[in-house]
Amino acid sequence: MPVLETSMLGIAQREGILEVYTHDLRDWTDDFHRTVDDEPYGGGPGMVMKCEPIFRAVEAIGAMDSLRPTIVFLAPVGEPFKQAIAQEFSKEARLLLVCGRYEGFDERTFTLADRIISIGDYVLTGGEIAALAVIDATVRLIPGVLGHAQSCEDESFSDGLLEYPHYTRPSIFNGVDVPAILLSGNHKEIERWRRMQSLERTQRLRPDLLKGEN
């Protein structure tokens, strides 16, 4: 998948920090049409991911390495994906991400899952884009992948707040100045200003984060 070869994910793979394999669930079907979905019991729209290919695939892929993988299903019914979960995943030696399409998974497939993860309150056509988001957020936290360890610590969500505003040259653009404090060289004051900006921005845009709701 080209996205996996680009940027940080590409570098991490070329440097041997990361290995990513994609598998086609249809390889674990045994009918002529390689069927992975079927109609829902009880009726209703859409199709449901069948149990057998998922059980076979998870078992077979799990056994491809002696390390037992942490099995993560991507589904809108999962727990919301957070920076803290990315931190946890970045410490795992092996993750097996299971992506569904159609209306969803047969509920019984979830017995395989260590975690069920949703990347947000919206429905994608499949779990693949969700899996890429999880991979991207996770891999950049693996030591050695991101240039500056500090940027992981400062960034949004790592302390439960949105990050402070950033500026780079030029100091005046379209008549708008960079805040003078950032040019002052007073690191203590800059740190204080950034903290205030973080709090103000979080209060304005994501008050739920301050209430500890997330």
Q: Per-residue contact track with ligand ADE, 67 to 96, x per CB under 6 A? A: -------xxx--------------------
Using CB positions, name the residue nearest to ligand ADE.
130
Token pair recorded at residue 28: 């674990």
CA atoms within 13 A on the CB side of 32: 0
Q: Do residues 48 and 106 touch, judged by C-beta distance below 8 A?
A: yes
H or E, element range at 173? strand 172-173
Packed helices 83-90 and 128-139: angle between N→C axes, nearest 10 degrees: 70
Q: Which of residues 17-76 bind ligand ADE (CB under 6 A)?
A: 74-76
Cα 66 to the center of its chain, rounded Å: 25
Token pair recorded at residue 54: 């998922």
Token pair recorded at residue 93: 């030696």
Q: Which of 122, 147, 150, 170 binds ligand ADE (CB under 6 A)?
A: 122
Smallest gap, in angstroms, from Cβ of residue 72 to ligand ADE? 10
Q: Between 18 and 119, name the residue whose CB sits nearer to ligand ADE.
A: 119
Q: Which residue stretch of 36-44, 116-124, 141-149, 174-182 sits at the interface with ligand ADE (rule: CB under 6 A)?
A: 116-124
Smallest gap, in angstroms, from Cβ of residue 179 to ligand ADE? 37
- Number of residues this chain uses to bind ligand ADE (CB under 6 A): 11
Smallest gap, in angstroms, from Cβ of residue 99 to ligand ADE? 7
User: Among 189, 144, 137, which residue's Cα sits nearest to residue 158?
Assistant: 137
DSSP summary character for residue 214: -
Q: Which of 118, 138, 198, 202 binds ligand ADE (CB under 6 A)?
A: 118
Residues in touch with ligand ADE (CB under 6 A): 74-76, 118-120, 122-124, 127, 130
